[in-house]
Amino acid sequence: MTTHHYRAQPPEALLVRPLDDLTLLYHRPSGQTHMVVSPVPEILAALQQGAADAATLHARLSREFDLGDPAQAQAEIAAHLAEMAALGVVSRA
Amino acid sequence: MRHSLTLRIGPATFRVGSAWRAPVDDLARLYADYPQERDAIADFTVRLDPTSALRRFFRPSIHITGDHGLADAAPMSLAHGLLAAEMGMNLQMALGWRRHLLLHASSVEKDGRALVMTGESGSGKSTLAAQLGERGWRLMGDEFALLDCVTGALHPFPRLVSLKNKAIDVIASEVSESRMGPLLAATAKGDIRHLVPRADAVARMAQPAMPALLLFPRFGGEAAVRPVGQGEVFMRLTQASTNYVALGEPAFAALSRFVATVPAAAIDFPSGDAGIALVDQLWADLP
């Protein structure tokens, strides 16, 4: 399986507004509003430390969160990253 | 147009033209206390014309040219002409208004703060707002609430209240006949009568208020109050807005701020009195 690297959008491209039960994202280039829940906001925050692939992000996130089985968690992070890239809220590095 | 009227409702100015005198006379009577600005440049034009079907155009200037009922049955043109004019003005706002985030919601004001109520047609939000408007609240609007994307204030749009079916008798029993429009029987939404808002609602229609409470009313069932999460509130308000996408980032900023700062609840109520009691209780509990 190919490992993709992803990077965060420039700060001016994405507005992030946490609500009590989910997080709103406003993607300026598309004008689209997205409603997301964990772990998407956490992945976005972890990408602020620099471009990364799923394995690196897993390492960053596991410092703060108990992610369970590493192989499964890493696969889930990879799937989320692919979906987030499709929406334009992250980019392939 | 042979007969016309230019009137202002809240921040919007409408020019209504009609091939018949009767609908314009009805409007002139019911909107007598609203600013009528003969020479104003109207935001929107509504035309009642008998030559073709009632149509929708996705442009600010909509021609309501009379449906087949209007064209075929002269006696119906009087009653349904008023309904067509009201529908025309609503469509103009829903499709063309850009100065505020438009929410399909009723709103009332007390002590400078606004209560906003949104829900499906038939939820009771319009009747509840009309009843509150007769009980010490200022009616800001029964159909559209206009959220200022910069200040976060809610602006009134106090057009005639559209009362449907059972709500007609409830309200007619407590207001003077002079504030009621003609009975429009057997329309697509059932029987309809229009209510003229109280004089203070019209006189103060340029005064905004900061939103303080959002309710999702539902008529029927035992009286109950249920919490609604902010995510669901946001989603339902974007669905209740006709211009959220068109306004772009200012709408996102205004709506996300509204959702994060205005408490919200869903209420069920079996009767108007029970609904009013719930509203009073929730209002009293606000910080």
Q: What does the domain layout of chain A look like in residue ranges?
A: 6-88
Residues of B with Cβ-Cβ distance to A33 under 8 angstroms: 238, 252
Domain-terminating residue out of B96, B115, B141: B96
Put simply, the answer to whether A31 touches B230 (Cβ < 8 Å) is: no
Q: A51-74, pLDDT tens digit by residue?
A: 999 999 999 999 999 999 999 999
**Do residue B191 and residue B222 come from a single domain?**
yes
**Do residue B90 and residue B111 come from a single domain?**
no
Is 90 exceeded by the pLDDT of residue B19? no
> Are B190 and B165 in contact, with CB atoms under 8 Å apart?
yes
Number of domains in chain B: 2
Put simply, the answer to whether B249 touches A28 (Cβ < 8 Å) is: yes
**Do residue B87 and residue B134 come from a single domain?**
no
**Do residue B218 and residue B151 come from a single domain?**
yes
**Do residue B161 and residue B229 come from a single domain?**
yes
**Do residue B65 and residue B177 come from a single domain?**
no
A29 touches chain B (CB under 8 A): no
CATH number at residue B107: 3.40.50
**Do residue B105 and residue B53 come from a single domain?**
no
**Do residue B126 and residue B228 come from a single domain?**
yes
Residues of A with Cβ-Cβ distance to B245 under 8 angstroms: 31
Put simply, the answer to whether A17 touches B260 (Cβ < 8 Å) is: yes
**Do residue B84 and residue B148 come from a single domain?**
no
Q: What is the mean pLDDT of residues B224-241?
A: 96
Distance CA(B222)–CA(B55), nearest Å, equals 41
Put simply, the answer to whether A31 touches B245 (Cβ < 8 Å) is: yes
Q: B86-143, pLDDT tens digit by residue?
A: 888 888 888 889 999 999 999 999 999 999 999 988 889 999 999 999 999 999 999 9
**Do residue B155 and residue B187 come from a single domain?**
yes
**Do residue B188 and residue B264 come from a single domain?**
yes
Token look-up 């749009």 returns B157
Residue from B228, B232, B234 whose CB has the most chain A CBs within 10 Å, to mutate = B234
pTM above 0.80, yes or no: yes
Quick count: other Cβ atoms within 10 Å of Cβ B42?
18
Residue from B149, B228, B230 whose CB has the most chain A CBs within 10 Å, to mutate = B230
Question: Which domain range does residue B201 map to?
Answer: 101-284
Nearest CA in chain B to A20: B230
Q: What is the mean pLDDT of residues B11-22?
A: 87
Q: How many CB pairs under 8 A join A and B?
A: 38
**Beta-carbon contacts of residue B19 (< 8 Å; ≥ 6 apart):** B1, B2, B3, B48, B49, B50, B66
**Do residue B121 and residue B263 come from a single domain?**
yes
Q: Give me the helices (H) in A1-93, please.
A: 40-47, 54-62, 70-87
Q: B144-195, pLDDT tens digit by residue?
A: 999 999 999 999 999 999 999 999 999 999 999 999 999 988 887 789 999 9
> Are B137 and B97 in contact, with CB atoms under 8 Å apart?
no
Q: B20-71, pLDDT tens digit by residue?
A: 888 899 999 999 999 887 778 888 888 887 644 443 332 222 334 432 233 3
Q: What percent of chain B has pLDDT over 70?
A: 89
Domain-terminating residue out of B74, B96, B118: B96
Domain-terminating residue out of B63, B96, B129: B96
